[in-house]
Amino acid sequence: MPEKPVPDQDPIVTKSYAPHYVLAMVILMITLFWALWDEAFGQRPWKAYQEEWKHRYVAFLKTATHSSTNAEATVTASPDYKALEAEYNRLKSQTQPDVDRIQKQITDLNAKIIAVQNVFTDRRAYANALTYEMETDTSASGKKSKQRDIDDYKARKATVEYPDGHREQYNFKELEEKYNELRDERTKVSAELGEVLKPVTEANTRMSQYVTDHMIDLTPTQIEGLKKKTAEWDPKIQQINVADANIVDRCESCHMGAREPLKISAAVMTPKGSKRPDEYAQAFVSHPEPGLLKIHDPDKFGCSPCHQGNGRATTSVEKAHGNYEHWLWPLFPKQNAEAGCQTCHAADMMLVSGDVGWTISEGKNLFRQRGCMGCHRYEGYDKEPEDLTAVNQQLKLLEQQKIDNSKQSAAMMKQADSAQSNEEANRLNDKAVALRVASSKIDGQIQQLDFQSHSLMQDMKKVGPNLKDVRLKLNKNWIPVWLKKPTDFRPTTKMPNFRLTDHQIQAISAYIWQSALTDSPPKQKPGNADHGKQLFESRGCLACHSIGEGNQTDGGTFAANLTRVGEKANYDYLVRWIHNARERTRPYCPYEKKDIGPEDYAKKGLPYQFDLQHSQCPNDGHELQVQNMTVMPSLRLSVEDAQDIASYLMTQKKQEPSAYTDASFMDDPKLKDEGKKWVRHYGCAGCHEISGMEDEGRIGTDLTVEGSKPIERLDFALFTETAQRGGKGAEPITDPEDRERLPEGPAKSDWYNHKGFFEHKLAEPNIYDKGKVKTAEEALRMPNVHLNKEQIRAITTFLLGSQESSLPTSYQYKPADTRRDIQEGWWIVTKYNCVGCHQFIPGQNTSLMGMARYKDVQEQLPPKLLTEGARVDPEWLRRFLANPALSTTDTNRNGVRPYLQVHMPTFSFSDNELRKLVRFFQAMSQQPMPYIPEAVPTLSTKENDMARSLFSSTAAPCLKCHATGDANHDKNATAPNFLLARERLKPDWVERWITDPQAISPGTAMPSGLFKQQNSQWVFAGPTPSTFQGYTGDHRKLLTDYIFQLTAEEQRRVAASMGKTRAAVPSPTRQKQADNSHPTAGHGGGR
Amino acid sequence: MNRNQWAAIFLASMLALGMLTGCSKKENTNEEQGTSPSSEVKPAGSSAPIDPATAAKISGTVSFDGTAPKPSKIDMSQDAACKGNNTSETMVVDSGKLANVFVYVKDGMGDRSFEVPKDSVTIDQKGCQYHPHVLGVMTNQNIEIRNDDDTTHNIHPTPKDNREWNESQPPKAAALEKQFTREEVMLPVKCNQHPWMKMYLNVSKTPFFAVTGSDGKYEIKGLPPGDYTLAFVHEKLGEQTQKVTLAAKDSKTVDQAFKQ
């Protein structure tokens, strides 16, 4: 075999693969390490958070301990604590000898027990063993002999050597007795020790309780506990799992501080040296509103039902927050966080808890007040018409059932008459009777429903004015100018800007004008404008209306700004409106779909009279709409006062009404039909009453679940890509005014999400038409509602939360108890803008509060209603709300507070709304319904005299401020007449009120500190009259009882005597000058 | 994306293996420092003591230009116990000098803090008027409110930035003791039973304030040298300010005129 020459360059020999292997190995190693690292950390970013949390929180707790220790030192230095401590020490030293003695006894006993036990247990074991042997022995003789052994053994004496050295001899029985005796004794002595120590332990508990009660923050011990817990923390997934609701939220794996009992801000979690809180610091803050967590226990609610986001995700912040394309419910943006409330609280109108809820509540309110609901259906909003339809349907059903019943019962009676047996006849007759009873019950139901339907008719309101009245009410030439751009005339108007062409304006004005009623309002005498101004500014008009423009504006935003009303209004109509805005020109019959006139009444020979008591159609008996569908109440002004106010308002103008360009085209009948088309197209009837369009449906989208619409179904039109891309040119809105409306300013990054869509749509409603070729009919119809940033943010929040929730229905807040009364009440309270005058929840500002005219005279503001339900008798409240003058004759006044210039208006609430309001107030104050008043005891003559001396004492001069009905006295009055108390107030509330009125109505003119607690008795804080010597009753109660049985006669006497001799206690027999002080005002209707 | 970043970080850290230990030690120390929160309560201001040797003084006169309205009379007839001076104290002008102006250092003290005086200041209700009509106190300083009348008053401050309260005080009752914790100028105090009764409290963080007397004069002593804004506040005529620079041991006169 020829030897092959070895090639010089044999790859096997010369070429080394080592580098390849090394490289491969390195790559493999890297991959391995990377995989391991990713497994341990990459996939678990929360671990880093938890490590960081441990460091930062422990450090924070250290500083907290410091301040807490200081605070504790302050508390323990207080005399109260010192007293507790002294008491503890005293008890301790007092019981010490006993304790020592008993403890010695126990020690002795223990030693004795051990001594006895040692012997006893041995012997017992032996005895037991013998017994076992005897039991297992098969022969009877064996058993006998064993028994003998046992007896011998038990009789034998054993020696016990006690610790003190002395010995005793016991047989088994004695030994057992001794052992049990010693043990019993030890139990007894131990109990004795507990008994002796009890006061000491209690004193000790009192001390630590005092510290806990008086420390505002956590005690050092509590903080120490937290520190320990945190330092020992082992990183792990923190998870809330609510199986029923399919909630798995791991948010707290990073948000470790969310539920900590201390307030943790981002600032305190920021590492020293860095100016801004980093992502850790921001994640570790405690929940800003712990009060909310108390009512929404995170263990039941988790986090995502309120905040959204992907609660299960743990691999990155983006994923956990749901900010990626595969998750449909991204975290609600910070600015719109309150959207989460809406997902469960859609049925609530007011959602405030601490600082949270103002935005969403504002959004809900705007949706209604600005007339959004005129075009967009939203469940729960403007539901009176829907309810009315439902009621009418139910009525029809019941009527039918009644007919069926009577037929059936007739048939049965017929059968009974010809029945075979008496038994059979009686059975059938009984059935027939039952059916008649059932029918009678149905009658009751029908009456209730009739009542409902009457109420609902009254409750239906429109956001805008009744356009059937334009001919009576308006300067004709003004109409086209207004329609062009309402904000040019009145910048704050609710009427939105429709982008109408001049031709559309002409056609619409022509239709409105020609379809309107041609009646004319009664002529009015001119009034005194100066007096009118004074009334306008003081009566309370400004709680809803505003006057003046720009920074000169004064008043509320609920109703129109009246700065230029003189240019558009007709004086005669205005007087009628101010006198009673609900007064309608003609009643409307929804059945005939027709405005009923005098001719219809004349045909039936009826007087032309229509009001709430005369609300049946003369033609067919159906319920009529007899009121203007406005929420504007009657201020119970005299016609003269109404004329004065109207005269003042007519002076409010920037140009003469005659300066408007002639608009006679409005009479052109050719324009009418086209006008009608456009009026319908733009949905004007959503907010206005318009002839021929009373039953128009809404033209916009239903928004009830708009927030859960998939993003693809929101039409970004030509801006889809721009919105997705973001970057330069991301903002499509160019109009500077509209750009100003964007809550987050012009878009800088991508905005392809619900928030972006809603905000852009609200800022410039036709933005998604930009660049499109569309006809006038096709173009987007939504008008520009000219909202500002905050308003758009509020409405966007509301819409974002408008979702079809994936949570079980039990999570929806639809309570069936008194909390429902609260829910329903808020809809009415906001509907009529009660909040413009009254404070319902602490922190809520009324329109009047901020006004300069009340700055120094806060007592002239309408009362706060923070505890109204606890204050007043519900039946009285119902009467008051129906007639705030509390009189049918003397109506131009306040029934309760005659001294207020602001008058509580008559809202002409339906019975339905009255009931709901009364229940609302009771529920808001946690008062049970029905209310059964507690009996007020009749005072004896002596008690009466004592109470009177308090009532009129110099130290509590009640009648100095409280009205008495005497005009001369009442000019200085700032509080209601006591004579109203009996019917109006609840005695328990009065007691609380006179104790601490500032807690019930902060800032009230009624001072606190009239009574003080002495031992366990409440006594008058001023010098007590001598008659009180030895009186052990509650002084507050005595005074309350007195007030509840105060008569006009008695009050007059007291008032008169107080005027005479100030300090002296008046004698009840003294009858003085009762002649000039007839209390005509102040308690008319109430009594 | 994220994984790539991590991979890169990992590689980098592999390469820097040798340094790692040292680094991590450093990191640790950083963390130690980083853990103590930045918002730890700072020592309340730089309360460097004011050297009495360099302390300066401001004084001056506040005048009123124009014809002062005649002080209106108050009708006190509703309460027989109200006797005495019944002229309104809203505008007290004596030959062009304006009384009841609160003068204080509005700006320039930086974050200096001052000790609260142990002494109480007194408000006296006498003849159904408050004495004094305008009062300056320091935050947390004790205010003693006395009733020398034979009638009941209630003391009802209506503050903007402090807590509101309203307490009854019968004749001869023990004095009420109250404090206000936040700075506030011209805080109105009134009595609901005698609607004309009104006074103004001024709560200051510094002890550098004064109220002009009937001669319009005021004096503020013990100021450390510095640049200050001096404010003059009148319940009706509002606030006016002046800038003042004080050198050590200065004694400056700062006058101010109010116009109707």
B193 with A998: Cβ contact below 8 A = no
Report the mean per-residue pLDDT for chain B. 81
In this prediction, residue B42 carries a pLDDT of: 36
Q: A with B: how many residue pairs have Cβ under 8 Å apart? A: 134
B6 with A858: Cβ contact below 8 A = no
Chain A residues with CB inside 8 Å of B79's CB? 960, 1062
User: For A688, left (φ over 0), alpha (ψ -120 to 50), or beta?
Assistant: beta
A265 with B172: Cβ contact below 8 A = no
Residue listed under structure tokens 């791991």? A250
Q: Does residue B29 fall inside a structural domain?
A: no
Query: Which A positions 491-510 lie with beta carbon below 8 A of chain B?
Result: none
Task: Tell me if A613 sits within 8 A of A526, measured CB to CB.
Answer: no
In this prediction, residue B23 carries a pLDDT of: 40
In this prediction, residue A906 carries a pLDDT of: 94
Nearest-CA residue of chain A relative to B37?
Answer: A268
Of B36, B41, B193, the CB nearest to A960: B193
Is the link from the previous residue into A333 a cis peptide, with omega within 30 of 0?
Answer: no
Q: What is the pTM of this model?
A: 0.82
Chain B residues with CB inside 8 Å of A1063's CB? 150
B192 with A974: Cβ contact below 8 A = yes
What class has domain A941-1060? mainly alpha
CA quadruple A444, A446, A448, A454: dihedral, nearest 10: -150
Chain A residues with CB inside 8 Å of B6's CB? 34, 37-38, 42
Query: How far is residue A131's CA from residue A551's CA, in Å, rounded to a whole number?
Result: 107
pLDDT in tens, A985-1037: 999 999 999 999 999 988 898 999 889 888 888 998 888 888 888 888 899 99
B173 with A955: Cβ contact below 8 A = yes
Chain A residues with CB inside 8 Å of B33's CB? 271-273
Q: Does residue B69 fall inside a structural domain?
A: yes
Nearest-CA residue of chain A relative to B190?
Answer: A856
B10 with A33: Cβ contact below 8 A = yes
- Domain boundaries of chain A, sorted by first residue: 78-226, 332-370+702-780+787-812, 384-459, 467-582+628-686, 818-924, 941-1060
Query: Which A positions 842-901 lie with beta carbon below 8 A of chain B?
Result: 856, 858-859
**Cβ atoms within 10 Å of A854's Cβ, excluding its own:** 16
In this prediction, residue A954 carries a pLDDT of: 80
User: Cβ of A1062 under 8 Å from any chain B Cβ?
Assistant: yes
CATH value at residue B235: 2.60.40.420
What class has domain A818-924? mainly alpha
Q: How does DSSP classify residue A666? A: G
Tell me which range, A556-560, A966-970, B42-46, is most confidently predicted by mean pLDDT: A556-560
pLDDT in tens, A733-772: 999 999 999 999 999 889 999 999 999 999 999 999 999 9
B36 with A63: Cβ contact below 8 A = yes
Query: How far is residue A716's CA from residue A713's CA, in Å, rounded to a whole number?
Result: 9
In this prediction, residue B5 carries a pLDDT of: 58
Chain B residues with CB inside 8 Å of A856's CB? 188
- For chain A, first and last CA: distance in Å? 140
In this prediction, residue A1026 carries a pLDDT of: 82
DSSP string, A467-486: GGGHHHHB-TTHHHHHHH-H
pLDDT in tens, A475-522: 999 999 999 999 999 999 999 999 999 999 999 999 999 999 999 889
Say yes or no to pLDDT of A1084 above 80.
no
Q: Which residue has the higher pLDDT, A118 or A568?
A: A568
- Mean pLDDT score, A341-370: 92
A268 with B39: Cβ contact below 8 A = yes
User: Cβ of A42 under 8 Å from any chain B Cβ?
Assistant: yes
**Cβ atoms within 10 Å of A25's Cβ, excluding its own:** 10
Query: Which A positions 918-977 lie with beta carbon below 8 A of chain B?
Result: 954-957, 960-961, 972, 974
Q: Does residue B135 fall inside a structural domain?
A: yes
In this prediction, residue A184 carries a pLDDT of: 93
Say yes or no to pLDDT of A934 above 50.
yes
In this prediction, residue B33 carries a pLDDT of: 38
Q: Domain span at residue B197?
A: 56-259
CATH fold for domain A78-226? Helix Hairpins (1.10.287)
Q: Which residue has the higher pLDDT, A17 or A559?
A: A559
In this prediction, residue B18 carries a pLDDT of: 41
Query: Which B positions 215-254 lie with beta carbon below 8 A of chain A?
Result: none
Which residue in B126, B124, B132 sits closest to B82, CA to CA? B126
Distance from CA of B53 to the nearest CA of A (A): 36
Report the mean per-residue pLDDT for chain A. 89
Task: Please check whether the domain covering A467-582+628-686 is classified as CATH 1.10.287.
Answer: no
A467-582+628-686 and A941-1060 agree in CATH topology: yes
Q: Does residue B159 fall inside a structural domain?
A: yes
Chain A residues with CB inside 8 Å of B9's CB? none
- Count of domains forming chain B: 1
Query: How far is residue A887's CA from residue A904's CA, in Å, rounded to a whole number?
Result: 13
User: Cβ of B166 under 8 Å from any chain A Cβ?
Assistant: yes
Task: Tell me if B229 sits within 8 A of B243, measured CB to CB.
Answer: yes
Which amino acid does the sequence have at A590?
A: P
Chain A residues with CB inside 8 Å of B36's CB? 59, 62-63, 272
Task: Tell me if A820 sits within 8 A of A922, measured CB to CB.
Answer: no
Which amino acid does the sequence have at A1032?
A: T
Chain B residues with CB inside 8 Å of A1003's CB? 158, 164, 166
Q: Does residue B45 fall inside a structural domain?
A: no
Say yes or no to pLDDT of A10 above 80.
no
**Cβ atoms within 10 Å of A613's Cβ, excluding its own:** 8
Query: What ipTM was predicted for this assembly?
Result: 0.74
B152 with A955: Cβ contact below 8 A = yes
A1007 with B192: Cβ contact below 8 A = yes
In this prediction, residue A1087 carries a pLDDT of: 33
pLDDT in tens, A659-707: 999 999 999 999 999 999 999 999 999 999 999 898 888 999 999 999 9
Q: Does residue B44 fall inside a structural domain?
A: no
